[in-house]
Amino acid sequence: MLTDSWQLGPLTVPNRVVLAPLAGIGTWFVRLQAKRHGAGLATSEMVSSFAIHYRNEKTITELLRVHPDERTVSDAPTSLQLFGQDPEIMKSAAAYVREHVEGVDVIDLNMGCPVPKVCKTGAGAALLKDHDTAVKVARAAAEGSGLPVTVKLRSGQRPGETDGYELAKRLVEEAGVAAIAFHPRSAQVHHKGTPDYALAARLVEELPAPVMLSGGLHDAERARRAYELTGAAAIMLARGSLGNPWLFQQLLGLRDDEPTTAEILRELEWLMDRAVEHLGPERGGRWLRKAYPWYVDRLGGGKALQAAMQQAATVEQARETLYAAV
Ligand SMILES: Cc1cc2nc3c(=O)[nH]c(=O)nc-3n(C[C@H](O)[C@H](O)[C@H](O)COP(=O)(O)O)c2cc1C
């Protein structure tokens, strides 16, 4: 059952519906939102191990921010996703997190990011072809942080390749990785196409550690089917949860119906307030431009309303534009 707890190393995860890492999105307030709606574990956006090692200010003060409410809202753990290909730098970044960031329970490592800027340094999906380094990086993250380490990876770099599947086994056996988050699409297709759930099912069968499934979990029906098909320990919501935190509740049997207009507006208001709290009115307003379409879509609003909100000079003006239209 999706509502059953499971073990991630020494941690008990209270249920099997978790939030995926989402770059530029998975701030403390998006994680908190997911947890408010029931998520059993919430992962941060990816953070550069080099940026932590060299104490990049924005990285330290913004990306590494964990809000105290993330702890009190539920007993769901918080996972911080790091990326990087240098074991020493990874160890140093993980040690910084252990010493200076309260509220991180798990370190997740990104070995699936297809973005050229990341891959050309040898990080992200490049590690799918460099298993020795990948194992060293995972060991270093565990040594530095003293926390359970998970790795999120893809099936391979190109369609048909299964390097990720092979690497997952080495990571568990040789680096003691506590769980694998598996996105069974190749890096080359980015987020398009049908995930290879049969390959995920094989990994679940063979891996002596839990597998969290990622990919194509865009609504409750598809997510339930993929969960059953693969036998994964947990399912990881990504794009399906954007502007739709109620998907966590639906999958956990906490509600069947779709959110009302009032609920959607309340949730968007909550997000607007949190974005401003985190980044201030100006940068918060810019952050929110990506989020408006998710909620306006749910409200049945069209592209014109989305664009008007995105073009608003202030968050207040975006709010007025919204209320004038709904
Ligand atoms: C905007 C966006 C940002 C993402 N950022 C990350 C990231 O930082 N780290 C990561 O491992 N995966 C990242 N992913 C991949 C997702 O976690 C997930 O594996 C992928 O979207 C497939 O799931 P879906 O088809 O249910 O959306 C990102 C995906 C999207 C769409």
Q: How far is the C-alpha of 76 from the C-alpha of 19, rounded, in Å? A: 11
CB 106 less than 6 A from any atom of ligand 1: no
CB 212 within 8 A of CB 245: no
CB 83 within 8 A of CB 46: yes
Residue 40 CA to ligand 1 center (angstroms) comes to 18
Host domain of residue 311? 261-325
Residues 193 and 282 in one domain: no
Q: Write down which residue in 229, 251, 273 finishes a domain.
A: 251
pLDDT of res. 271: 98
CB 108 less than 6 A from any atom of ligand 1: no
Residues 140 and 268 in one domain: no
pLDDT of res. 77: 98
The pLDDT tens digits of the residues spanning 200-253 come to 999 999 999 999 999 999 999 999 999 999 999 999 999 999 999 999 999 999
The pLDDT tens digits of the residues spanning 87-121 come to 999 999 999 999 999 999 999 999 999 999 999 99
pLDDT of res. 1: 96
pLDDT of res. 72: 97
Residues 236 and 127 in one domain: yes
CB 23 less than 6 A from any atom of ligand 1: yes
Closest by CA to 30, choosing from 44, 41, 17, is 44
HSE of 120, CA atoms in CB hemisphere, 13 A = 3
Contacts 24+ apart (CB under 8 A), 25-28: 25/242, 25/290, 26/81, 27/62, 27/63, 27/65, 27/278, 28/65, 28/66, 28/67, 28/70, 28/278
Averaged confidence pLDDT in the chain: 97
Q: How many domains does the chain have?
A: 2
How sure is the predictor about 23, in pLDDT bands with cuts at 50, 70 and 90? very high
Percent of the chain with pLDDT over 90: 99
Residue 30 CA to ligand 1 center (angstroms) comes to 14
Residues 296 and 161 in one domain: no
Task: Write out the two tokens for 99.
Answer: 């010493």
pLDDT of res. 221: 97
Residue 102 in any domain: the answer is yes
pTM of the model: 0.98
**For the chain, how many helices (H) and strands (E)?**
14, 10
Q: How far is the C-alpha of 275 from the C-alpha of 24, rounded, in Å? A: 12
Residue 238 CA to ligand 1 center (angstroms) comes to 6
Percent of the chain with pLDDT over 70: 100
Closest by CA to 204, choosing from 185, 225, 229, is 229
CB 238 less than 6 A from any atom of ligand 1: yes
Which amino acid residue places its CA nearest to atom 28 of ligand 1?
Answer: 22
Residue 22 CA to ligand 1 center (angstroms) comes to 5
119 annotated active-site: no
Residue 204 in any domain: the answer is yes
Residues 43 and 152 in one domain: yes
CB 154 less than 6 A from any atom of ligand 1: no
